[in-house]
Amino acid sequence: MIESTNSQSADHYTWGEVSDGWRLVDEPGLSVIEERVPPGAGEEWHLHQTAAQFFYLLEGSARMNTRDGAVDLEPRNGVQVPPGIPHQLVYPGTADARFLVISAPNTRGDRRAASDGTTP
């Protein structure tokens, strides 16, 4: 059966004590998550061994840090991170950021701390 989904009906979780996530699609081969992150918050450096990810900013501002440099994102812009690439998404703006994270396959159990000297 085909059904619509949104952040009101999707499974919710909290990460980093201040950020919200909603699992819009949670299948073994595909994950689509909407996240809300307050200004100044961000992820720790990490990588995914098998999952490729695409981050698409809906509102606010974000910066994707990688070992090759940083990519600044504005609304309606995205960035792809291949598997095995250490990365960190941070939110330097003054308002909450909202974005979609699309991962294939699903990232459950696939996240590892980046330990290759890429962290600041």
The answer to whether residue 29 scores a pLDDT higher than 60 is yes
Distances (CA, A) of 1 to 4, 7, 21: 10, 19, 24
Length of the chain: 120
The yes-or-no verdict on residue 120 having pLDDT over 60 is no
Query: pLDDT, tens digit, for every residue of 47-86?
Result: 999 999 999 999 999 999 999 999 999 999 999 999 999 9
Q: What's the pLDDT band for 1 if we cut at 50, 70, 90? A: confident
Radius of gyration for the alpha carbons in the chain, expressed in angstroms and rounded: 14
Please give the pLDDT value at position 118.
Answer: 47
Q: What pLDDT, on a 0 to 100 scale, did the predictor assign at position 99?
A: 97
